[in-house]
Amino acid sequence: MIKKFIKRILGVKNKANSQQPQVLGPKEHGIDPTLLSANAVRVTQTLQEAGFKAFVVGGAVRDLLLGVKPKDFDVATNATPEQVKRLFRRAFIIGKRFQIVHVMFGQDLIEVTTFRGASSEGAPKDEHGRVLRDNTFGEQHEDAARRDFTINAMYYDPASQTVLDYHNGIADIRSRTLRIIGLPEARFREDPVRLLRVVRFAAKLGFVIDPDTREPIQVMAPLINNVPAARVFDEMLKLLMSGHALACLQQLRKEGLHHGLLPLLDVVLEQPLGEKFVTLALAGTDERVRQGKGVSPGFLFAALLWHQVLEKWNAYQAASEYPIPALHLAADDVLDAQTEKLALQRRIATDMRDIWAMQPRFERRTGKSPYKLLEHPRLRAGYDFLLLRCESGEIDPEIGEWWTAFIAADGPGRAELLTRKPKVEEESPAPKKRRRRGGRNKQKAAPAEGSST
């Protein structure tokens, strides 16, 4: 009895600081209210007026504390998904296991999540300790403890302008430290995707990974292999589209995590041409993201895997395959190898194929083919890709320059450009019967009629 009582007191005491949040007022946290989304405020207000607790949570609070405009807003509440849904005109319950509510305002989406319970001990796990199902509702402090990093576990109430901090996230924001909540090894084990997240946040925010958090990372790395491919893909996509993809990949390498994520990426990064190509592609993507321009995942993955395609393309041609079928076979091989681990969505895989299949067509600069290519719906992506190939030293920059001029030119200008026949094509008039050998020089590979896309 007494033992139990003492234990309980101690237990409560132990957990006291993670159950009782530190509360910070506007002067202490310094959040600029103009960085908040009006819709997020509307959602918390509506929920609070209906008698529920509601806070902006997670990455948005972290970004607000860093003085950065958050790219999206999540709201956490003690209302159940059904209760949330009833309060908004356009609200949709998403997900089977742990339901969340998407509240829509025009194009703007606010994701509303009910506080999750801290049930990971009793939750079903796979043989490596990864939590399989964990879908109970809980108290706010339990919700905080389930989040990944201290800086991602703070709650902001727009009405009172207070921040609730359960895990000393504020201190970590100030010292620019990335620290996992709880025991690092256990937290990585129950969800190995956090290994990718730690790298993404460290690179994106320029934060230092706390030594205890960092220590188990490399040993735990193989656990990513047991995570369902679709989740790895989602997290990988976030990483690549973060505007800091290059920094993220460098960080992945530093942490020894680059092996096995994109199974073929390891090899790519070890070939000098491949590395240059990937580096240029990612630098370009990062630049676009930072300028607020759209980035297509298809383009990105097409670039990441291009040198694998090239290698296989050459191999098929060396084995007497015609250039165009060889390119398609190479694309199949590379996509198959990736899908196992990454679950590339079909739409993305189609974009990748389109971009790859267009490449040999750029090398035909006679007759009607360049005009046909101009009408290709994905011309822009294919052309940007071509420029990367030029810039990386894979092909003659003259081809890229020619296309830049051709796209920009008017009718007579285009006709004039077509008379400027590139040397290569003058020397070897398009053969009627193609030699079965092919492929010694992929750059000269002429595409078969109508075989693209």
Q: How far is the CB of 279 from ligand ATP (least distance, A)?
A: 22
Taking CB under 6 A as the rule, does residue 189 contact ligand ATP?
Answer: no
Q: Assign 3-state DSSP to the chain and report helix, strand, coil percentages, each to 5.
A: 55, 10, 35
Q: How far is the CB of 49 from ligand ATP (least distance, A)?
A: 25
Identified binder of ligand ATP from the candidate list 141, 147, 179, 244, rule CB under 6 A: 147
Taking CB under 6 A as the rule, does residue 58 contact ligand ATP?
Answer: yes
Q: Residue 58 or 297: which CB sits closer to ligand ATP?
A: 58
The region of 20-28, 188-196, 248-256, 336-344 touching ligand ATP under the rule CB under 6 A is: 188-196
Q: Report residue 137: phi and psi, to 5°.
A: -85, 160
User: Site size for ligand ATP, by CB under 6 A?
Assistant: 13
Catalytic annotation present for 72: yes
Q: How far is the CB of 43 from Mg ion (least distance, A)?
A: 15
Task: Measure the CA–CA gap between 199 and 254, rounded to whole angstroms.
Answer: 9
Kind and range of the H or E run holding 200: helix 193-205
Kindly name the residue from 134, 148, 165, 191 that is annotated as catalytic: 148
Q: Residue 201 or 301: which CB sits closer to Mg ion?
A: 201
Task: Name which of residues 191 to 250 contact ligand ATP (CB under 6 A).
Answer: 191, 193-194, 197, 238
Q: Measured at CB, which residue is nearest to Mg ion?
A: 59
Binding map of Mg ion across residues 49-88, x = CB under 5 A, - = no contact: ----------x-----------------------------
Backbone torsion region of residue 243, taken as left when φ is above 0, otherwise alpha when ψ lies between -120 and 50, otherwise beta: left
Instruction: Write the single-letter amino acid at 230.
Output: A
One-character DSSP codes across 231-249: HHHHHHHHHHTSS-HHHHH
Q: Residue 261 or 446: which CB sits closer to ligand ATP?
A: 261
Closest CA to 243 of 210, 190, 283: 283
User: How many C-beta atoms surround the C-beta of residue 71 within 10 A?
Assistant: 12
Cα separations (Å) of 77 from 1, 99, 101, 164, 182? 37, 13, 11, 13, 23
Q: Residue 201 or 356: which CB sits closer to Mg ion?
A: 201
Instruction: Write the single-letter amino acid at 251.
Output: Q
Site residues, ligand ATP (CB under 6 A): 58-59, 71, 74, 147-148, 152-153, 191, 193-194, 197, 238
Active site residues: 72, 74, 148
